[in-house]
Chain A
Amino acid sequence: MFKIVYNGCNMKRNTFYLLTGVVALAEVGIFWLSVELERPILIQVAFVLGVLLIYGARRMVEDRVEDERTAMITQKAALRTLEVFWVVFFVFSLGSAVVAFSRPLGLRPPHPGPPNMAPVDVLELPFVGGFAVFQMALLCLMIFLYVGFKMYYARKYGGWDTDEEQD
């Protein structure tokens, strides 16, 4: 069994929250810049770096914020989120599949159709953009579900209780 000890690089919890906010704002700015420059790699790299920075900073927070109870709460919340989310995701995916199969898939030439009919675009660019926004909405739903379940289990396992020792 080992324990990681950080010397001289500890961080207050409030500083960590401040850093998280700054990173989030920076990500929004970089996203906008990425759209302006039409370079998706910019926001993709920035997002990965931002997440790594926050994960690294979280390990340096002075106050102990995690133990077996919080780990259990996190596990339960993650499991419940997965249980609900896969159903929602599958329902929307089924709907999308029905829409997709209702049109030519591009696996073979589309039906000739009536003479002088324009060929059907299988995957137009606006459709890809709409799909990306849809994915983001589902991701937001997953985050909301996770936070909701985490709050529920934190309350259930006494996370927000007060007693005579609390200030």
Chain B
Amino acid sequence: MKNRIKVYRAMHDLTQEKLANELGVTRQTILAIEKGKYDPSLDLAFKIARFFGVAIEDIFIYDSTAELK
């Protein structure tokens, strides 16, 4: 799944560490999500979207072809 967390982080001038602390996860988790190596749970995805004040679809883009790889 693709995502735009890095873009929203830059828009809010946030480091991975700060975002991780706000969301209650480790920095490595934010890094893994940004790089597309880990798909967050629905709960965490909603938390991220609400933190940036946008809809979940604005941040996460479902890529069906990625599942076939």
Contacts and interface: CB of A to CB of B under 8 A. Distances in A.
Interface in A49-67: 64-67
A158 B38 contact: yes
A68 B47 CA distance: 13
Given A68-B29, A69-B29, A158 B35 contact: yes
Interface string B29-50: 1011011011011011000000
A69 B32 contact: yes
A21 interface: no
Contacts of A34: none
A66 B16 CA distance: 16
A152 to B, nearest CB: 13
Given A157-B32, A157-B38, A158-B31, A70 B26 contact: yes
Contacts of A159: 28, 32
Interface string B42-67: 01100000000000000000000000
Does more than half of chain A's interface fall in helix, strand or loop, or is it mixed? loop
Interface string A56-98: 0000000011111110000000000000000000000000000
Contacts of B28: 69, 158-159, 161
Taking residues whose C-beta sits less than 8 angstroms from the other chain, chain B's interface range is 10 to 19
Contacts of A68: 25, 29, 40-41, 43-44
B22 interface: no
B67 to A, nearest CB: 16
B29 A165 contact: no
Q: Which of A70, A156, A157 has the most CB of B within 10 A?
A: A157
Contacts of A64: 24-26
14 contacts: A64-B25, A64-B26, A68-B25, A68-B41, A69-B28, A69-B29, A70-B29, A157-B38, A158-B28, A158-B32, A161-B31, A165-B15, A165-B17, A165-B27
Given A158-B37, A161-B32, 13 more contacts: A64-B26, A67-B26, A67-B29, A68-B25, A68-B40, A70-B29, A156-B37, A158-B31, A158-B35, A159-B28, A159-B32, A163-B34, A165-B17
Interface of B: 15-17, 24-29, 31-32, 34-35, 37-38, 40-41, 43-44
